[in-house]
Amino acid sequence: MTDAQLAPPLARRARGAGTPSSPVAILVTVGLLGALLAWRLMVAPASGSPVEMSAIEQAWGVRLTQIGVTADGGLVDVRYQVVDADKALTFLDDPANMPILIAEDTNATVRSTAMLHSTHEVQAGRTYFVLYRNTGGVIHSGGLVTVAFGPLRLEHLVAL
């Protein structure tokens, strides 16, 4: 008998082309690809045109009053004043309409809200807040932030 005939079947297969990968290698590869995709989605800047605050007020019925980093950098507190209650409900009633925060130094985005105004009964003239998860601390105190409301972008806002 030759050595090839005495070798266990897996040992022979490992030497040949088209070797199947181990389940661990497959899981690691899939995990890395998933992490890369998630990172690309996080850093992909929202498209749109820079506008003034008045355009946001006209379209969405709110005026941003503050962007603050809180909870030891883990949250971003976005304060807004309602100028038109009916328009403001457009984005409060649908999470898909929530503004996206973009750290201008890295183009990293913050999309995940941690806490919203829950009653959805807003009044013009009152100030409300939305807390965003600041995963990875991409927005930092003193940093410049762009806030994207759909295609409208408020640029160069300073985070407190």
pLDDT tier at 116 (50, 70, 90 boundaries)?
low
Model confidence at 10: pLDDT above 60: no
Model confidence at 46: pLDDT above 70: no
pLDDT digits (tens, 9 = 90+) for 85-112: 999 887 777 777 889 999 999 999 998 8
- Statement: the pTM of the whole predicted model exceeds 0.85: no
pLDDT tier at 23 (50, 70, 90 boundaries)?
low
Residue 15 is predicted with a pLDDT of 47
CA 109 vs. chain centroid, Å, equals 5
Mean pLDDT of 66-80: 95
Q: Is-contact 142 123, C-beta < 8 A?
A: no
Local structure of 80: helix, strand or coil: strand
- Dist. CA 66–CA 158, nearest whole Å: 9
Higher pLDDT, 145 or 1: 145
Least confident of 32-41, 44-53, 113-122: 32-41
Phi, psi angles (nearest 5°) of residue 110: -120, 115
